[in-house]
Amino acid sequence: MTRKVKKQVETIVFSMPALILVCMMMYIPFVMSGYYSLTEWNGISKEAKFIGLQNFKTIFLESSDFVQSLWFTMKYTLVFVIASNVLAIALAVVLTKKFRFANFFRGVFFIPYIMSMTIVGFIWKFIFTSGFEKLYEITGMGVWNLSWLGDTTLVFYSVAFVGVWQSLGFYIVLYIAGLQAIPQDVLEAAIVDGANGRQKFFKVTLPLLGPSFTTCIFMSLTNGLKVFDIILALTKGGPGTATNSVTMQIYKEAFTNNHYGTGSAQSIVYFLFVLIVTQLVLKAFSKKEVDL
């Protein structure tokens, strides 16, 4: 056996376990979901009844739950992406300054990210209920007596706040890495040319953060679109359907209502929606990157 053939055999042998796991965990379930989306099945009976495109017709024409959950997810994602990136850039700029406790604050902001979203959700659920109630008793301020998880308007901002709070540290780290990668001579040249602090940031620093900005936008977009665990822990989609995301809707349809066919159809539709949105956004921001 020649060295070239031996290397190819080793590549195949060592890649095969990973390939098998990926197929078992991703591709095979995806193909099965495509099949079940064309059937009526409760997850218990031995055979699924083939009904064609009826599930897709139900999603768009006979039931408004999926469309409502899609609208909520889009609003949440928009707020999450904007708030996460704006705050992360601002804090990253501050934390790249040389001051005594810079590394300490970096760690403080990053700690929530390493915590489970479910645990974060339960912690904030306690804070929104018992914690704010105690603050109201101490201070008498009406803001602490609001129903942050019970009001259909306030609950959206509560969920968005917790989502941003939990993930903010991760985006801060990415932006700090991007800021530190900017050549200092470029910034010094801007100062020599007479640029003030604001002009230097918006005309030089921000365009050079293009790769970091694209990465953070893409990741925050995908994280917003797939939000599930924090809603499950905080509100379970309530009150009513006020915080019912698409992933929560699919979960309820399949595993609570035992409509596996409809749930599979919703997952296929949402997969295509997420694929199109993420690719368009990624392509749009990639074009605006500035090469050093």
Can you give the pLDDT at residue 6? Answer: 82
In this prediction, the residues of the chain whose per-residue pLDDT falls under 70 are 1, 288-292
Average pLDDT value over all residues in the chain: 88
pLDDT at 196: 79
Residue 54 CB contacts under 8 Å (≥ 6 apart), including other chains? 40
Name the token pair of 200. 């230097």
| Single-letter amino acid, residue 178 | G
Residues 6+ apart with CB under 8 A from 52: 38
Domain ranges across the chain? 63-287
Domain boundaries 63-287, corresponding CATH code: 1.10.3720.10
pLDDT attached to residue 291: 54
Nearest CA to 162 out of 212, 221, 116 is that of 116
User: pLDDT, tens digit, for every residue of 134-148?
Assistant: 888 888 888 888 889
Write down the pTM of the prediction. 0.90
